[in-house]
């Protein structure tokens, strides 16, 4: 390898990064992604790499096989004690499920006192999402959590699929005695789908919230008591002659997000309990709004007996027509990409153009994943003590918010895993229109990750160039 060649690779990688920053391509029901950026992210933007994972929207992607195949369900029980260092960073994860069961975007901290994980939302941030690297099709998921509190602060625990199917718990901080349950089929909004379950203070108490999702029905339970049952046969739509029932492989998302941020649509702000107070006591001490996760169990059920199977490791969509359960097969297709240029169309893209580039980019990726790019290791010793000492070893993608002696790593991602966006005229709430408010921050975030990967590559190029 000559110095000139090395420099060429450096230039090409820097140039391709600049191109990626400049061209933002959006995707929605009327416009699918182009072939060179085939994946439509959950936030309605086209790209490769991370755009093709984690709720990549199969409906608006270039083709049904553009998103990466989805790792199959694996039963698990996770105690979130000292767990922040085990989390993968969703902004750089490339699909190796041996590396992480759970990913985060935003800010996470260990909470030693309760052997739990804190999802933090510092002032003016978009919040934090914890998401599973594998999907459930079908299964039972239970989470022992404490929600956030106060108006405008929303905590969510949902199953979410790349076809827009959802089964939700949502908690608005202004009403701590209600768990709102909801479901969506392919993002179709129906106000009558929401049902409330009463419970006791969700901020002060750990409750175990369960979603028991079968082919024919789903139940929502709190502390072992069923609060709602939905049968598939209740969702039959006589016009379309189909069941509008959540039926595609879904990942688990737990999030805290600012529904009441002033830049959100009026209907969203109203639903979330009014405008968020970014000067509330929590913002001063401990330095952020927060939700707390103690434990999550996942029990996998068998996939539908009619599912096409020629393997055991991945769920894939087999057609672009309807995105229903019948359009899913179980295969051994690759679930991992080599670089962030990859996609379901070519998971190895970016790895084979030259041996040096392959080495460089895989080195940069794995070092980001295994080193300090993980979550913060801040210890939250006491929520009420303003002098609790804490430290942060974070060097995460973009920004650090400091509050006294506390430092919380934070990326710019919006945690609106399920944003409610409303049109101001009707005050109506729609999940599919959500992308607008979060897409820019999502892109900023991915660019942050790309920037880091490219910086490392460039630094490596420099070192290589020097040595050679
Ligand atoms: C889809 O995106 C295109 C291009 O960004 C835009 O012109 C169009 O209005 C969008 N359609 C919908 C239904 O949002
Ligand atoms: C996936 O991650 C595991 C654990 O870090 C590692 O041993 C394995 O080599 C990785 N697989 C690939 C294909 O990189
Ligand atoms: C929240 O609103 C502030 C303005 O009050 C804005 O600067 C910030 O970007 C918004 N954050 C999100 C995540 O929407
Ligand atoms: C998870 O499973 C274990 C073992 O069955 C049980 O003790 C625990 O209560 C469960 N936790 C949740 C959150 O469901
Ligand atoms: C659920 O409770 C919230 C208040 O927390 C209320 O605004 C909403 O209308 C209730 N929804 C239903 C379907 O009763
Ligand atoms: C739906 O299915 C359940 C369970 O199989 C049954 O009890 C119920 O009567 C059915 N409801 C309708 C509307 O068919
Ligand atoms: C919403 O769902 C209910 C029950 O499934 C149904 O009766 C109603 O017609 C639906 N409304 C719309 C607008 O789809
Ligand atoms: C049936 O589905 C269509 C298309 O999604 C929708 O417009 C209509 O409101 C649905 N009707 C009912 C009764 O749910
Ligand atoms: C299994 O099926 C998938 C999807 O239909 C296809 O892409 C793949 O090539 C098949 N693999 C084998 C080994 O037949």
123 vs 426, more confident? 123
Rounded to an integer, what distance in angstroms lies between the CA atom of residue 37 and that of residue 25? Answer: 8
To test the ligand 3 pocket, which listed residue (128, 153, 262) has its Cβ within 8 A of the most ligand atoms? 262
Q: Is 401 part of any domain?
A: yes
Question: What tens digit of pLDDT does each residue of 80-126 get?
Answer: 999 999 999 999 999 999 999 999 999 999 999 999 999 999 999 99
Task: Please report which ligand is nearest the Cα atom of 217.
Answer: 6
Evaluate: CB of 389 within 6 angstroms of ligand 1.
no
Task: Please report which ligand is nearest the Cα atom of 224.
Answer: 4
Judge whether 170 and 147 are in contact, CB under 8 Å.
no
Q: Which domain holds residue 180?
A: 71-304+379-409
Task: Please check the confidence at residue 310 and state whether its pLDDT lies above 50.
Answer: yes
424 vs 261, more confident? 261
3-22 and 435-467 helices cross at what angle (nearest 10)? Answer: 170
Task: Please check the confidence at residue 455 and state whether its pLDDT lies above 90.
Answer: no
Position 23 scores a pLDDT of 58
Position 213 scores a pLDDT of 98
Q: Is 369 part of any domain?
A: no
Q: Is 173 part of any domain?
A: yes
Rounded to an integer, what distance in angstroms lies between the CA atom of residue 376 and that of residue 327? Answer: 40
Q: Is 260 part of any domain?
A: yes
Task: Please check the confidence at residue 6 and state whether its pLDDT lies above 80.
Answer: no
Give me ligand 1 centre to Cα 274, in Å.
29
Judge whether 275 and 103 are in contact, CB under 8 Å.
no
Position 54 scores a pLDDT of 82
- Rounded average pLDDT over 269-281: 97
Question: What tens digit of pLDDT does each residue of 60-78 get?
Answer: 999 999 999 999 999 999 9
Q: Is 344 part of any domain?
A: no
Q: Is 147 part of any domain?
A: yes
Task: Please check the confidence at residue 230 and state whether its pLDDT lies above 60.
Answer: yes
Q: Is 213 part of any domain?
A: yes
- Rounded average pLDDT over 321-344: 95
CA-nearest residue for atom 14, ligand 5, is: 196
Please, what is the average pLDDT of the chain?
Answer: 78
Task: Please check the confidence at residue 324 and state whether its pLDDT lies above 70.
Answer: yes
- Rounded average pLDDT over 395-417: 33
Residues with CB under 6 A from ligand 8: 188, 237, 239-240
Task: Please check the confidence at residue 453 and state whether its pLDDT lies above 80.
Answer: no
- Rounded average pLDDT over 184-192: 91
Position 322 scores a pLDDT of 92
Identify the CATH number of the domain in which residue 269 sits: 2.60.120.200
Poorest-confidence range of 49-63, 317-331, 454-468? 454-468
Task: Please check the confidence at residue 131 and state whether its pLDDT lies above 90.
Answer: yes
Go through 381-406 and write b for each residue having 16 or more CB atoms within 10 A of its CB, e for each that does not. eeeeeeebebebebebbbeebebeeb
Rounded to an integer, what distance in angstroms lies between the CA atom of residue 116 and that of residue 54? Answer: 24
To test the ligand 8 pocket, which listed residue (189, 233, 237, 322) has its Cβ within 8 A of the most ligand atoms? 237
Number of folded domains that form the chain? 1
Poorest-confidence range of 57-66, 114-123, 275-284, 405-414? 405-414
Residues with CB under 6 A from ligand 7: 190, 192, 234-235
Specify which residues 308 forms β-bridges with: 329
Active site residue 322: no
To test the ligand 7 pocket, which listed residue (184, 189, 190) has its Cβ within 8 A of the most ligand atoms? 190
Question: What tens digit of pLDDT does each residue of 163-178 get?
Answer: 999 999 999 999 999 9
Residues with CB under 6 A from ligand 6: 231, 233-234
Task: Please check the confidence at residue 357 and state whether its pLDDT lies above 80.
Answer: no
Give me ligand 7 centre to Cα 421, in Å.
20
Instruction: List Cβ neighbours of 34 (8 Å cut-off, separation of 6 or more).
Output: 25, 46, 62
Half-sphere exposure of 393 (CA within 13 A, CB side): 10
Measured in degrees and rounded to the nearest 5, phi and psi for residue 365 equal: -70, -45
Active site residue 170: yes
Give the best-scoring range by mean pLDDT among 355-359, 362-366, 428-432: 355-359
* Tokens describing residue 69: 């195949």
Task: Give the predicted TM-score (pTM) of the model.
Answer: 0.80
Give me ligand 7 centre to Cα 170, in Å.
21
Q: Is 449 part of any domain?
A: no
Helix (H) or strand (E) holding 206: none
């Amino acid at each position: 390898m000559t110095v000139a060649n090395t420099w060429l690779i450096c230039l090409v990688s820097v140039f391709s990064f600049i191109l990626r920053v400049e061209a933002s391509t959006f995707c929605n029901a009327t416009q699918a992604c182009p072939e060179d950026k085939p994946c439509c992210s959950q936030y309605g933007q086209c790209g490769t790499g991370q755009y093709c994972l984690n709720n990549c929207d199969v409906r608006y992607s270039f083709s049904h096989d553009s998103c990466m195949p989805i790792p199959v369900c694996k039963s698990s029980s996770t105690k979130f004690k000292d767990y922040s260092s085990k989390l993968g960073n969703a902004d750089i994860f490339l699909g190796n499920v041996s590396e992480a069961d759970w990913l985060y975007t935003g800010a996470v901290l260990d909470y030693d006192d309760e052997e739990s994980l804190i999802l933090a939302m510092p002032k003016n941030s978009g919040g934090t999402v914890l998401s599973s690297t594998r999907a459930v099709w079908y299964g039972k998921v239970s989470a022992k959590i404490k929600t956030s509190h106060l108006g405008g602060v929303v905590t969510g625990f949902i199953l979410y699929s790349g076809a827009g199917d959802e089964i939700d718990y949502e908690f608005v901080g202004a009403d701590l005695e209600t768990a709102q349950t909801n479901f969506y089929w392919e993002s179709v909004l129906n106000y009558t789908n929401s049902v409330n379950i009463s419970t006791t203070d969700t901020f002060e108490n750990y409750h175990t919230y369960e979603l028991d999702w079968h082919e024919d029905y789903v139940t929502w339970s709190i502390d072992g008591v069923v609060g709602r049952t939905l049968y598939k046969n209740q969702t039959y739509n006589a016009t379309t002659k189909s069941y509008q029932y959540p039926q595609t492989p879904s990942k688990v998302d737990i999030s805290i997000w600012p529904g009441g941020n002033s830049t959100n649509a009026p209907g969203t702000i109203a639903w979330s309990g009014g405008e968020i107070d970014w000067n509330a006591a929590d913002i001063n001490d401990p330095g952020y709004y927060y939700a707390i996760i103690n434990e999550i169990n996942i029990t996998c059920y068998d996939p539908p007996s009619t599912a096409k199977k020629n393997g055991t490791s991945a769920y894939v969509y087999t057609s672009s027509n309807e995105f229903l359960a019948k359009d899913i097969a179980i295969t051994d297709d690759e679930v991992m990409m080599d670089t962030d240029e990859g996609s379901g169309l070519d998971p190895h893209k970016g790895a084979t153009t030259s041996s040096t580039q392959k080495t460089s980019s895989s080195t940069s990726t794995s070092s980001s994943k295994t080193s300090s790019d993980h979550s913060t290791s801040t210890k939250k010793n006491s929520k009420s003590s303003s002098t609790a000492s804490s430290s942060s070893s974070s060097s995460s993608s973009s920004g650090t918010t400091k509050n006294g002696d506390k430092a919380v790593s934070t990326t710019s991602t919006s945690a609106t895993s399920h944003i409610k966006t409303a049109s101001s005229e009707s005050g109506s709430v729609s999940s599919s229109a959500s992308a607008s408010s979060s897409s820019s921050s999502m892109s900023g975030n991915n660019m942050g990750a790309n920037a880091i990967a490219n910086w490392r590559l460039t630094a490596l190029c420099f070192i290589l160039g020097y040595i050679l």
